[in-house]
């Protein structure tokens, strides 16, 4: 079963029966455990929602967690109180999760470091997206070294390392061009290092895709 929500969204729109996924802005904790759903959800698309810690805590304790294969929590601020509930949720989904998207989640090095032991338990993971987060070369290197050991991992999408930026943007912020703000030589060297690392660690072809 593949759905992206447990009920109606705030506009009161009921999903049609043919729609394979649903999106929601409602807090998951508002839904009673005795939901009418007879089978656990396999996919949750919860990007750009106003989730709070109790939402993720509810989900991690629900019968959906061990069955989840796809989880998109992009654009939530995990630098605040959501980090520990996310850690608990990943622990519960680690045996089934195939796709994890954490785009633009305000995760700095310390936050990703805290999640890394749990990510290594996600033995079935095929896709990992962490782009749009302010991460350093050292943290990305550590992430890749440890997650590339997952034999099913085929695609990792990561941001340009923050330490590959030039000290100051060449233009005012309103006209800032990312390509001009990045040290291209340093970034190219990091890309080569990461690609070689992937080839050395995982014999199964793994694509590393960097996004500005």
Write down the pTM of the prediction. Answer: 0.78
Q: What is the pLDDT of residues 73-94, one digit of tens each?
A: 999 999 888 999 999 999 999 9
Q: Are 102 and 72 in contact (CB under 8 A)?
A: no
CB 29 within 8 A of CB 35: no
Show pLDDT as tens, one digit a residue, over the chain (212 residues).
333 333 323 333 333 333 333 344 444 444 545 456 678 889 999 998 888 999 999 999 999 999 999 999 999 999 888 999 999 999 999 999 999 999 999 999 999 999 999 999 999 999 999 999 999 999 999 999 999 999 899 999 999 899 988 766 554 544 444 455 788 899 999 999 999 988 888 766 678 888 75
| DSSP structure class, residue 23 | B
CB atoms within 10 A of CB 15: 17
The full set of domains in the chain, from first to last, is: 39-211 (3.80.10.10)
* The two three-digit tokens of residue 47, written as one number: 């990007």
Residue spans of alpha helices (H) in the chain = 53-61, 83-93, 109-119, 137-147, 178-181, 184-201
Question: Among 109, 204, 200, which residue's Cα sits nearest to residue 161?
Answer: 109
Q: Which two tokens stand for residue 10?
A: 């705030």
Q: How far apart are CA 11 and CA 142, in angstroms?
A: 43
Which of these, 69, 128, 67, lies nearest to 100 by C-alpha position?
128
Interval 7-17: pLDDT, tens: 323 333 333 33
> Cα–Cα distance between 191 and 210 in angstroms, integer?
8
pLDDT tens by residue, 47-71? 988 889 999 999 999 999 999 999 9
């Amino acid at each position: 079963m593949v759905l992206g929500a447990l009920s109606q969204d705030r506009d009161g729109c009921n999903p049609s029966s043919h729609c394979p996924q649903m999106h929601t802005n409602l807090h998951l904790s508002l839904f009673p455990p005795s939901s009418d759903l007879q089978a656990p959800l396999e996919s949750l698309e919860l990007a750009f929602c106003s989730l709070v810690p109790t939402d993720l805590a509810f989900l991690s304790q629900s019968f959906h967690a061990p069955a989840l294969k796809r989880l998109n929590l992009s654009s939530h601020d995990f630098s605040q109180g959501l980090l520990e509930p996310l850690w608990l949720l990943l622990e519960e989904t680690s045996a089934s999760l195939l796709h994890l998207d954490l785009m633009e989640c305000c995760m700095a090095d310390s936050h990703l470091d805290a999640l890394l032991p749990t990510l290594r338990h996600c033995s079935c993971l095929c896709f990992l997206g962490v782009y749009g987060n302010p991460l350093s070369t050292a943290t990305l290197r550590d992430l890749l070294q440890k997650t590339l050991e997952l034999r099913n991992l085929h695609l990792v999408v990561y941001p340009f390392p923050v330490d590959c930026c030039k000290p100051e943007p060449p233009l005012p912020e309103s006209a800032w061009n990312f390509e001009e703000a990045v040290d291209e030589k340093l970034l190219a060297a990091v890309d080569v290092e990461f690609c070689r690392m992937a080839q050395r660690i995982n014999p199964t072809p793994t694509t590393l895709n960097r996004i500005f």
